[in-house]
Amino acid sequence: MRYYGLTVYTVALFEYYGDGLFEVQIFRDTTVECLYPKMHPTEFFKTTGKYYDEEDYILDTKSLELEKQLSLLCFNACANKTDFVEMCLSEQNLSPHLHNLELDPSWEKFYNRWDDGSKVVLRLERTHWEVFVSWQNNRCSFGRGWIDFVREAGLQAGDNLLLFKHNTDEENILNFCIFKAEAWSDACVEGTSNAEHSFYKMVYPHAAKEGHFVLPRLFSKKYCRHLCRIRQVDVDDRSWYIFYNVPNGYIYNLEDMLKHFKVIEKEAIVFSMNSSNVMTARIFQKDGMEIAYKRRIRSAKYLGDEHWFLKPDLRSDYDLEEDSEQSLESSGGNAGVANDMAENDLQFNITVSTLLVDKKTHGPFIPVAVHPPNRAWKKGDEVELRTEKGSWRLGMVLHGNRARLSAGWNKFARDNEYKVDDVLSWQLMEENGTDVFLVTKVAPV
């Protein structure tokens, strides 16, 4: 935690690869994947000149700093908010001798509705400040109350202040976020042009109807040119056309995708961008577990519960009851593959999709009906995969009652040079107490 500077409400995504190995993605309160130090932790502490105490990286859950974190999360999660303004604060803006802050034309959408002497509330989650509007010579300023707000909110020169309307019916109430100056360069992912860059979005109410998400502000600013080339989003084994609106910084045309997977309020979507014009997305339940894509599609309805990182959801996709007809559909819910399985056989086909060769995910799910004789798959099971190029040992992970190839999959796919749309035939057999899959590539028809 000290090494990566984790604080309350930093989001960490853990993905288990078997053999005690986890891959972790860390998202700051800006919802953008953070910069990862390239040095060893001991070197990190050596260069900083001190060891950190708890106060340096853990926030009091009742503190003003926590409320600032929540406000950042609120803005990025409520993706239908396009009515906002930002400003970089200078020494002049913060001078105690200057009792007002002149608002530039970017504030026009707000101050055109304010009268001289009217009160504006600047609000976090539970804390708020009152400032009063002053009109002189057709110029609008924040007057009385501004300096108190600056001092008590801990604003400094170089900080970026972002104000937005949480409720369009409240003309004189603005929520705000503070991007600290020292964290400005840390909020976006640095890397080479072909590296993947990720951000997450919390799903707001009526997202499936509106079909758009405002991208994290810093992400849009840094990768605007690349985002303009994005034309498609891949989720599971399906693709949808999407578009990026430059002026307002949001992606749209997501209605069909959100409805297809029955995405509900307060679930999370992690979007990843690479060097192509395709963006990939993974959907996570409120308990933090990735959804069972095929099962979610088949289920008649999906009921949600509380916010997944505030209160773990005790109900997951894997607990949803299916009727007997659906249970016979033993496709296994493969994330990123399509399955065909012969009746009463341990053979099935998988069509390789983008998600299986993107080097970021597990391998395919194994259909429920395919398992070793007289037993189900167990956590920690290992299997041997054989092709014409050799053999590989892979680990298994379990999602509910479904097994999925994990540790070693990326090397297996790379060594066999699998590409998108390749059709693979799988045959399970047992040899000397070892579970073996014979994997062959099916020639295109």
Residue 132 has pLDDT above 90, yes or no: yes
Q: What is the mean pLDDT of residues 19-28?
A: 77
Give the pLDDT of residue 92. 78
Domain 59-185: give its CATH code. 2.40.330.10
- The pLDDT > 70 percentage for the chain reads 67
Residue, of 59 and 221, whose pLDDT is higher: 221
Q: How many residues would you count in the chain?
A: 445
Give the pLDDT of residue 35. 65
Amino acid at 354: T
Burial class (CB in 10 A: 0-12, 13-18, 19+), 43: exposed
Residue 131 has pLDDT above 90, yes or no: yes
Residue 234 has pLDDT above 80, yes or no: yes
Give the pLDDT of residue 120. 92
Superfamily of domain 331-442: DNA-binding pseudobarrel domain (2.40.330.10)
At 130, is the pLDDT very low, low, confident or very high (cuts 50, 70, 90)?
Answer: very high
At 306, is the pLDDT very low, low, confident or very high (cuts 50, 70, 90)?
Answer: very low
Give the pLDDT of residue 355. 62
Contact 348, 342 (CB under 8 A): yes
Q: In this structure, which CATH number among 3.40.50.620, 3.40.50.261, 2.40.330.10, 3.30.465.10 belongs to the domain 197-319?
A: 2.40.330.10
Q: What is the mean pLDDT of residues 174-193?
A: 54
Mean pLDDT across the chain: 72
Residue 32 DSSP symbol: B
Beta strand residue intervals within 358-401, DSSP E = 365-366, 382-387, 390-399
Residue 28 structure tokens: 């700051």
Q: What is the mean pLDDT of residues 175-197?
A: 52
Give the pLDDT of residue 301. 54
Residue 60 has pLDDT above 90, yes or no: no
Residue 225 has pLDDT above 80, yes or no: yes
Q: What is the pLDDT of residues 71-122, one digit of tens each?
A: 666 665 554 455 677 777 887 778 777 778 888 887 887 888 898 999 999 9
Dist CA 279 CA 200 (whole Å): 13
Q: What is the pLDDT of residues 260-269, one digit of tens each?
A: 898 988 788 9
Residue 314 has pLDDT above 80, yes or no: no
Residue 102 backbone phi and psi in degrees, to 5 = -75, 130
Q: What is the pLDDT of residues 401-443, one digit of tens each?
A: 678 787 778 788 888 888 877 888 888 888 887 888 898 888 7
Dist CA 298 CA 285 (whole Å): 16
Same fold, 197-319 and 331-442: yes
- Kind of pairing between the strands at 250-252 and 278-284: unpaired
Q: What is the mean pLDDT of residues 40-54?
A: 44
What SS3 state is found at 5?
coil
Residue 310 has pLDDT above 80, yes or no: no
Q: Phi/psi zone of residue 374: left (φ > 0), alpha (ψ -120 to 50 degrees), beta?
A: left
> What would you report as the CA-atom Rg of the chain, rounded to the nearest whole angstrom?
25
Give the pLDDT of residue 344. 40
Q: What is the pLDDT of residues 336-371, one digit of tens each?
A: 333 444 434 577 787 777 667 665 556 787 887 788
Residue, of 20 and 411, whose pLDDT is higher: 411
Which residues have CB under 8 Å from 201's CB, separation 6+? 31, 76, 77, 79, 213, 268, 269, 271
- Residue spans of the domains in the chain: they are 1-56, 59-185, 197-319, 331-442
Give the pLDDT of residue 119. 92
Alpha carbon of 262 to those of 95, 212, 258, 413: distances in Å? 51, 15, 6, 31
